[in-house]
Amino acid sequence: MVDHLRPVCAEIDLGNLIHNYDYLCGFPVPSRICAVVKADAYGHGSVEVARALYERGCRDFAVALVEEGVELRRAGVDGEILVLSQPPLDALAIAARHDITVTAYTKDAIKFISDTPEEERPNFQLKVDTGMYRVGAALDELSALSEVIGRGEIDGLWSHFAVADEVSNESTEFTKLQLSRFQSAINTLKGAGIIPRQLHIANSSGLLYYPESRLTKSRVGLALYGYAPRYEVDELGLRPVMSLISEVSFVKTVEAGERPSYGRLRPMAYRGKVVTVPIGYADGVPRSLFNGGGEVIIKGHRYPFAGVITMDQVLIDVGEEGNIEIGDRVTLIGGDGRENIGADEWARRCSTITWEILCGISKRVPRIYLER
């Protein structure tokens, strides 16, 4: 395959990544950061991101799949790699071979791990469910599980917040309830003679908004990539890491009243220029961005979509005169002059969350790494 002929790329600013990492490490102690690099580091490239963070001193990573952990190990990433849910039993030996720490929470899996000969046994951390109800052992199962685990040290005990990003009294109360349930899980294990070496529950929101939740470490994804979970209230010092860039590939004049693109949804208010940009929903530009009033930046000015987003191309209404030509740089996400469009802006316009926008930038978009 011939790479990079189409003028589209995601620029990944590793300097901004390191800035965010340093900034988050600066939170009051204990503030060890576990870098969450699942889903290809939220679309930023897990190997490049993990390597850059490792070089900066990060020794703690989390992924969703054993496969993702193996990819990092093969790329030479050292330090702890924790898989954030319980893998299929078949995957445990592979995890062990690559020194990948797994999460476990069923009796079967914990028994399987305990029965495995020591040299093939993966490190494991116990996950307790404190109210997310996704995965994890229930609080009232902990005593029974403790018997399977046996007395002594385990690598860790952890849990996960459901609404720490939300701003309401109800979500604050629920987050505090999760914290107190986590404390009671710690006590139950302690009563059974089990001492977890690590305790963690905070995600980006926990680290930023619930200082009491930063236990031995915080598992941070979104904030590392430069976005605050509560985008509507935050003025933090985070810097977005990814920009999405393309170029004008075609220019034409369209009469007033004509309606570009599929569905003919938006009439031109004047006789004006409509330019084409060779990026579409197959690259992760959501179709709903058109209805949401999305814009792009060209030469420091914002311009709206002239019609619905197609699979491989978008059309931009650049106005009546607009001296815009083939080859001009188009910023879909990122800054140009005084204007800036964040993945969080797309999320608001598309009624989704910043996490989904970042993960949605597809494999078809080449990642270009900017060093510091």
Ligand X SMILES: *Cc1c(COP(=O)(O)O)cnc(C)c1O
Catalytic sites, residue numbers = 38, 262
Residue 171 C-beta: closest distance to ligand X, Å: 14
- Pick from 219, 273, 349, 367: which binds ligand X (CB under 6 A)? 219
Whose tokens are 């001193």? That residue is: 57
Q: Tell me the chain's radius of gyration from C-alpha atoms.
A: 24
Whose CA is closest to 344, among 336, 335, 353?
353
Residue 109 is encoded by which pair of tokens?
A: 């899996």
- For residues 302 and 295, the answer to whether their CB atoms sit within 8 Å is yes
According to the binding rule CB under 6 A, does residue 220 interact with ligand X? Answer: yes
Q: What letter would DSSP give residue 45? A: -
Using Cβ positions, the residue closest to ligand X within the complex turns out to be: 221
Task: Supply the DSSP string of 230-245, one letter for each residue.
Answer: -TTT---S----EEEE
According to the binding rule CB under 6 A, does residue 84 interact with ligand X? Answer: yes
According to the binding rule CB under 6 A, does residue 110 interact with ligand X? Answer: no
Binding mask 269-308 for ligand X (x = CB under 6 A): ----------------------------------------
Looking at beta carbons only, is 48 or 165 nearer to ligand X?
A: 165
- For residues 145 and 111, the answer to whether their CB atoms sit within 8 Å is no
Residue 138 C-beta: closest distance to ligand X, Å: 17
Residue 34 C-beta: closest distance to ligand X, Å: 8
Binding mask 336-355 for ligand X (x = CB under 6 A): -------------------x
Whose CA is closest to 166, among 111, 231, 215?
231
Looking at beta carbons only, is 125 or 331 nearer to ligand X?
A: 125
Report the C-alpha gap between 342 and 30 in whole angstroms: 30
Looking at beta carbons only, is 85 or 362 nearer to ligand X?
A: 85
According to the binding rule CB under 6 A, does residue 36 interact with ligand X? Answer: yes
Q: What letter would DSSP give residue 159? A: -
Residue 202 C-beta: closest distance to ligand X, Å: 8
- For 151-257, strand residue ranges (E) read 152-158, 194-200, 218-220, 242-247, 250-254
- For residues 207 and 240, the answer to whether their CB atoms sit within 8 Å is no
According to the binding rule CB under 6 A, does residue 160 interact with ligand X? Answer: yes
Report the C-alpha gap between 331 and 342 in whole angstroms: 10
Looking at beta carbons only, is 213 or 331 nearer to ligand X?
A: 213
Looking at beta carbons only, is 230 or 301 nearer to ligand X?
A: 230
- For residues 300 and 337, the answer to whether their CB atoms sit within 8 Å is yes
Dihedral of the alpha carbons of 35, 40, 43, 46, in degrees to the nearest 10 = 60
- For residues 299 and 347, the answer to whether their CB atoms sit within 8 Å is no
Looking at beta carbons only, is 134 or 338 nearer to ligand X?
A: 134
Total residues in contact with ligand X, by rule CB under 6 A: 13
- For residues 349 and 356, the answer to whether their CB atoms sit within 8 Å is no
Residue 58 C-beta: closest distance to ligand X, Å: 14
According to the binding rule CB under 6 A, does residue 228 interact with ligand X? Answer: no
Residue 117: φ, ψ to 5°: -55, 145
- Pick from 221, 280, 284, 294: which binds ligand X (CB under 6 A)? 221
According to the binding rule CB under 6 A, does residue 214 interact with ligand X? Answer: no
Residue 314 is encoded by which pair of tokens?
A: 């978008």
Residue 208 C-beta: closest distance to ligand X, Å: 9
According to the binding rule CB under 6 A, does residue 200 interact with ligand X? Answer: no
Whose CA is closest to 223, among 244, 212, 208, 201?
208
According to the binding rule CB under 6 A, does residue 203 interact with ligand X? Answer: yes
Stretch that binds ligand X, among 52-60, 198-206, 264-272, 294-302 (CB under 6 A): 198-206
- Pick from 222, 245, 353, 361: which binds ligand X (CB under 6 A)? 222
Residues that bind ligand X in the complex, under the rule CB under 6 A: 36, 38, 84, 160, 203-205, 219-222, 229, 355
